[in-house]
Amino acid sequence: MSLTIRPVVGRRAKITALGTYVPPDVITNKDLEKLVDTNDQWIMERTGIKERHVLAKGLGVSDICVHAANKCLAARGGISGPMPASEIECIIVGTVTPDMMFPSTACLVQDRIGAKGAWGFDVSGGCSGFVYALQAGVKMVESGAHRKVLVIGADANTRMTDYTDRTTCVLFGDGGGAVLIEPAEEGEIGFIDFVHEIDGSGGVSLNLKGGGSLNPPTHETINKKMHFIYQDGPAVYKFAVRKMAEATAKLLERNGVTGADLGCFIPHQANKRIITATADRLGMDPERVIINIEKYGNTSAGTIPLAMETAIEEGKLKKGDLVLLAAVGAGFTVGAALLRWEI
């Protein structure tokens, strides 16, 4: 390895804590067999998904964010209790399933966790939302603008899912996670580099058309099912396989790193076949590729923090490891990050 550490304008930034949350209710493939013409074998073979968590009625994505944020603050705390939320200076939430059009999820979370004095905003990056929010938070810390930024990736996709459409309803689940970004200590590296890209021509292949200013809710938009996720699965699949490989290869190459140097690869969990195709191109040992799609399905911006948790639980993410994150999502959006894990 000939890792070239890119200089930053101010100080380096790192993740100092992680907290994740999935709601307790679960829909299994067997449950879906009762709703649409599908079966466990097809879903497992084509996607790798066995079950997914579902947010209970009466709750919104902000509930997932609040649970994750509080767990993150507890992880950052010590024997005297969680880190006080009042120390957070900015909250950035990657989500495309906010509780409502406005106020932003960041505002709802700020109030509920008691982050008095913080500011914040939401990032609409589809499944790349967490990696996009992460770069914004990292740059705030690197520039010296802030010392404690809470970055959350969460989605409640099942709320926007048509449970009569077998091509989409098997894919999505609800959940997410939060990380705290703070200045790195002397000798630590933390975040190294990001590669991000958008390609708006892909918007036709994955979208939710109803409810915005172009198509506000009417009986007609509801009858036309415009408030559900629309997806051209094969088109998204092809783009995802190509772009995950391109973005990750570019990021590793320009930093003098190969797949063999990575402690682990934490990809967005949309389809197990997309993940293994990307990992193959990187020459990664499958043992070091984090896959938890079987338990959670695609939670959009929630997948990467949830997979970080899985990596830690499985003993595959340890202090000092080089870690690669990558996602592709609605937009199309592409995002990848390279960092050294410093917890």
Three-class SS of residue 59?
coil
Q: What are phi and psi of 34, to 5 degrees?
A: -85, -15
Clarify whether 268 is annotated catalytic.
yes
Rounded to a whole number of angstroms, the minimum distance from the CB of residue 155 to ligand COA is 11
Tell me how far, at minimum, the Cβ of 39 lies from ligand COA, in Å. 7
Among 72, 90, 107, 127, the active-site one is 127
Residue 110's contacts (CB-CB under 8 Å, 6 or more residues apart) are 91, 118, 120
Q: What are phi and psi of 52, to 5 degrees?
A: -145, 150
Pick the closer one to ligand COA by CB: 110 or 231: 231
Catalytic choice (53, 70, 268, 292): 268
Pairing relation of β-strands 322-329 and 333-340?
A: antiparallel
Rg of the Cα trace of the chain?
19
- Smallest gap from Cβ 309 to ligand COA, in A, equals 20
Question: Quick one: 88 or 195, whose CB is closer to ligand COA?
Answer: 195
Min dist CB 211 to ligand COA, Å, is 19
Q: Is the distance from CB of 65 to CB of 174 less than 8 angstroms?
A: no
Residue 327 backbone class (left: φ over 0; alpha: ψ -120 to 50; beta: rest): beta
Residue number, 38 or 258, with CB nearest to ligand COA: 38
Active site residue 196: no
Q: Which residue in 255, 271, 292, 298 is the catalytic one?
A: 298
State which residue, 304 or 323, has the beta carbon closest to ligand COA: 304
Q: Give the residue from 106, 229, 89 showing the smallest Cα distance to 149.
A: 89
Closer CB to ligand COA, residue 263 or residue 302?
Answer: 302
Cα dihedral 172, 175, 180, 184 sign: negative
Distance CA(264)–CA(161), nearest Å, equals 32
Q: What's the closest the beta carbon of residue 238 comes to ligand COA, in angstroms? A: 9
The β-bridge partners of 14 are: 182
Nearest approach in angstroms of CB 64 to ligand COA is 18
Residue bearing tokens 């404690």: 148
Nearer to ligand COA, 90 or 270 (CB): 270
CA distances from 190 to 54, 62, 244 (A): 33, 28, 22
**What Å distances lie between residue 136 and 92, 140, 274, CA to CA?**
8, 6, 26
Cβ atoms of 13 and 141 closer than 8 Å:
yes
CB of 130 to ligand COA, least distance (A): 12
| Stretch (H or E) spanning 239 | helix 233-254
**Closer Cβ to ligand COA, 103 or 203, answer by number:** 203
Question: Which residues here bind ligand COA, judged by CB under 6 A?
Answer: 38, 42-43, 46-47, 127, 166-167, 170, 206, 231, 233-234, 236-237, 240, 270-271, 298, 328-329
Distance CA 66, CA 283 (A): 38
Unique residue bearing structure tokens 């994150």 = 325
Active site residue 298: yes
What is the set of active-site residues? 127, 268, 298
